Amino acid sequence: MSPDLARANAVVRRGFWISALAFLGIAGVYVLALGFTPVEARQGVAQKIFYLHVPAAWCALLAFSLVGIVSALYLWLHDPRLDLFAASSAEVGVTFSAVMLTTGPIWAKPIWGTWWTWDARLTLTLFLFFLFVGYLALRAAIHDRQERARFSAVVGIMGLLLVPFIHLSVYLFRTLHPQPVVLKPSAPSLPPEMLRTLLISFAMFSLLYLGFVTVRYGIGLALEARELRDAG
């Protein structure tokens, strides 16, 4: 086995362990949320999805922001590893967004009586999903590696700049069109135990993001190593 392939496998293994650790952590958050965190007065037990949903959405945004920032770095430094990282982050991000977008409505229907609301978080996640899909579709359609890296980087940067405008549009839309009051799992000020659970959840989801990206990055390295070996 070539040294490159061995190194790639080592990266994948490391990523696997980080992800496993993160899953354990998230299970722990689940326990923490159900057993050791006070129940929210108005929404009841159903509000507890908040501790999983909000950090997951945050991770999708983190994934996308990193795609954008790393893309800008790639256009400046031209380091192929930056391109691989951006691609890995995009694949992890699209997965997080897709999970968010499917579990969100499934949970929302029995609680709020509606499958979908155009609230800020769901709308933004939906847009991130579309931006991820566009980014990955373009990558799949370009076969020259340098061209693929350049083009994806441009899309990444443009996408990152779009996000504040989506936010602004949703904000303007809502202030001018008061929506029916929907009970949302977010509170302006959180009691300390809730905040603690939320922050730990953020940390565990970020760790999961890191683990997944590491695995994907390692797979990317392995694919490159194999390509190089095949090309002789």
Partner 1 sequence: MPEAIRLAFVIAAKDIRAELRSRTALLSALVFAALVLVIFNFARDPTVLAATDLAPSVLWVTFAFAAMLGLNRAFNVEREHGALDGLLLAPLPRSSLFWGKLLANLAFVGVVEAVTLPLFVLFFNVDLSAALPGIIGTAALATVGFVAAGTVFSAMAVRTRFAELMLPVLLLPFMVPPLVGAVQVTSRLMAGRPLSEMLGWLRLLALYDIVFLTISTLTFAAVVDE
Partner 2 sequence: MPSYDGPLLEATGLHRSFGAARILRGVDLRLQPGEALAVVGPNGAGKTTLLRLLAGIMRPTQGEVRVLGRVLTSSAPETRRPLGLLSHQSLLYDDLTILENLIFAARLYGLADPAGAALAALEDVDLARRAHDQPRRLSRGLLQRAAIARALLHKPRVLLLDEPFTALDATAAERLRVLLRGRLAQGLAMVLVTHHLTEAWELASRVAVLAGGRWALDEPRAGDLAAFLPRYHELVGA
What span, in angstroms and rounded, lies between the C-alpha atoms of 184 and 120?
11
List, in order, residues 6 or more apart from 46 with CB less than 8 Å away. Answer: 107, 111, 185
Instruction: Considering the complex, state which of residue 82 and residue 124 has its C-beta at the smaller distance from partner 2.
Output: 82
Which residues would be at the binding site for partner 2 (CB under 8 A)? 4, 78, 80-81, 145-146, 149, 224, 227-228, 231
Instruction: Considering the complex, state which of residue 26 and residue 149 has its C-beta at the smaller distance from partner 2.
Output: 149
CA quadruple 109, 115, 119, 124: dihedral positive or negative? positive
Residue 134 contact among partner 1, partner 2, none, beta carbon within 5 to 8 Å by kind? partner 1
228 contacts 64 by C-beta, under 8 angstroms: no
Residue 145 contact among partner 2, partner 1, none, beta carbon within 5 to 8 Å by kind? partner 2
Which has the closest alpha carbon to 137: 94, 102, 80?
A: 94
Which residues would be at the binding site for partner 1 (CB under 8 A)? 75, 127, 130-131, 133-134, 137-138, 141-142, 146-147, 150-151, 153-155, 157-159, 161-162, 165-166, 168-169, 172-173, 176
Instruction: Considering the complex, state which of residue 106 and residue 223 has its C-beta at the smaller distance from partner 2.
Output: 223
Report the amino acid identity of residue 79: D
Report the amino acid identity of residue 43: Q
151 contacts 142 by C-beta, under 8 angstroms: yes
Instruction: Considering the complex, state which of residue 17 and residue 165 has its C-beta at the smaller distance from partner 1.
Output: 165
Residue 10 contact among partner 2, partner 1, none, beta carbon within 5 to 8 Å by kind? none
Token pair recorded at residue 226: 């194999």
